[in-house]
């Protein structure tokens, strides 16, 4: 296991982590500010992936396809919030879980009806299909570098939005103490809609970008939901900063676990056992991380609520 391999895996982990951040940031804000568990967040991610793949395949340039996918998903999210999610803010978490689970089921069927049950190929933009020579011995896929780049830019943008704009201040106030924010005259309804739609945009962006390097299929939303939930629990509910740190941690731990554990175990254990144990441990690595964090800091790394 050489250092080039390690570096490559770390970069992969970084990219995956940043995409997780895009997804988790919206989920964390919605949970932190509206106290609403929105499982359909994963479906918005899926929508972004399918729409971008479709647009790109129909001839649009890659960047255009991504932006179009985000725009359409944002519109869908706006309608979703208006019709259903808005009525869930006052309900208990279980009702929210059931209702948004229902949305997931409907979304899965809509996708199946439009694109069929088989996975869809999301083509990688030709210009980025090749490797970039980062170091003399490290060729790294250009597309993955794009993910890292976009992820960092969006993270910066989100940070600036939340800490340096008025709407960001309102969002933070709502996250730390909604009741007080309401009493102080914040137009809570508008802030809620904004947060929901912003989260949807980020999720769609993540989906659109992940499309070419992962499987665009029904159920991809549910699959990424669990890592996203792990991220927001580790990071602290309602905290964008927490989501960022936690997403990077989860991304790195997950990728590193899958890459480094099997070979490491093979060095000390008989091959059959190493293979079994390696697969099992790699899968649970992020849960062990979550448990460890919660033992030390029961409310996550950066809890937004006082």
Partner 1 sequence: MSRFDAAPSAVPAADLAPLAARLLPWVLLGLLAAFPLLAPVFGLEYWLGFVRRLLIVMIAAASLNFLLGYGGMAALGHAGVIGVGAYTVVALVDAGVGSAWLAWGAALAVSALAAAAIGALSLRTRGVYFLMITLAFAQMLYYLAVSLSTYGGDDGYGLYTPLALGAGVDTGDEAVFFWVVLAIAAAVFALFSRVAASRFGHALMGIRDNETRMSALGYPVFRLKLAAFAGAGALAGLAGALLASHNAFVSPSLMHWTESATLLVMVVLGGLGRRWGAPLGVAVWLVLAELLKLHTEYWHGPLGLLLIAVVFLAPRGLAGLLARRRRTA
Site for partner 1, rule CB under 8 A: 31, 35, 37, 84, 87-88, 91-95, 97-99, 101-106, 108-110, 112-113, 117, 222, 226, 229-230, 233, 237, 272, 275-277, 279-280, 283-284, 287, 290-291, 294, 298
Nearest approach in angstroms of CB 146 to partner 1 is 31
123/281 with CB nearer partner 1:
281
State the Cα–Cα distance between residues 54 and 13, nearest whole angstrom: 27
Q: What angle do CA 162, 171, 243 make, to 5 degrees?
A: 60
State the Cα–Cα distance between residues 158 and 162, nearest whole angstrom: 6
Nearest approach in angstroms of CB 51 to partner 1 is 19
DSSP reduced 3-state for 38:
coil
Which among 26, 65, 103, 18 is positioned nearest to 216, based on CA atoms?
65
10/97 with CB nearer partner 1:
97
Nearest approach in angstroms of CB 31 to partner 1 is 8
Strand partners, 219: none
Both tokens of 43, joined, read 């479906």
Nearest approach in angstroms of CB 299 to partner 1 is 8
Nearest approach in angstroms of CB 230 to partner 1 is 7
32/212 with CB nearer partner 1:
32
115/159 with CB nearer partner 1:
115
151/303 with CB nearer partner 1:
303
Nearest approach in angstroms of CB 194 to partner 1 is 23
State the Cα–Cα distance between residues 285 and 306, nearest whole angstrom: 30
114/153 with CB nearer partner 1:
114
Q: What share of the chain is helix, strand, coil (3-state, %, to 5)?
A: 80, 5, 20
Largest CA distance in the chain: 65
Place of tokens 């904004």: 194
């Amino acid at each position: 296991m050489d250092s080039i391999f390690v570096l490559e895996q770390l970069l992969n982990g970084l990219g995956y982590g940043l995409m997780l951040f895009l997804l988790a940031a919206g989920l964390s804000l919605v949970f932190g500010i509206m106290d609403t568990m929105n499982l359909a967040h994963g479906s918005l991610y899926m929508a972004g992936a399918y729409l971008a793949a479709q647009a790109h395949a129909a001839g649009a340039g890659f960047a255009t396809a991504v932006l179009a996918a985000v725009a359409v998903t944002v519109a869908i999210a706006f309608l979703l919030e208006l019709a259903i999610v808005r009525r869930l803010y006052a309900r208990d978490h279980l009702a929210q879980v059931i209702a948004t689970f229902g949305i997931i089921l409907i979304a899965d069927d809509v996708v199946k009806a439009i694109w069929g049950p088989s996975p869809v190929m999301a083509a990688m933009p030709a210009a980025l299909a090749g490797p970039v020579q980062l170091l003399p011995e490290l060729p790294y896929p250009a597309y993955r570098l794009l993910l890292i780049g976009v992820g960092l830019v969006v993270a910066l943008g989100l940070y600036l939005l939340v800490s340096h704009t008025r709407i960001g201040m309102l969002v933070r106030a709502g996250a730390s103490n909604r009741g007080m924010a309401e009493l102080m005259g914040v137009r809570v309804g508008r802030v809620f809609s904004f947060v929901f739609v912003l989260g949807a945009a980020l999720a769609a962006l993540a989906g659109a970008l992940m499309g070419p390097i992962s499987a665009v299929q029904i159920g991809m939303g549910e699959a990424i939901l669990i890592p996203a939930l792990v991220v927001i629990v580790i990071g602290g509910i309602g905290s964008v900063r927490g989501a960022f740190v936690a997403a990077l941690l989860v991304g790195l731990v997950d990728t590193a676990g899958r890459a480094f554990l099997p070979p490491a175990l093979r060095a000390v254990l008989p091959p059959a056992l190493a293979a079994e144990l390696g697969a099992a441990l790699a899968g649970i690595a992020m849960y062990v991380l979550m448990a460890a964090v919660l033992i030390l800091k029961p409310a996550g790394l950066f809890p937004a609520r006082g």
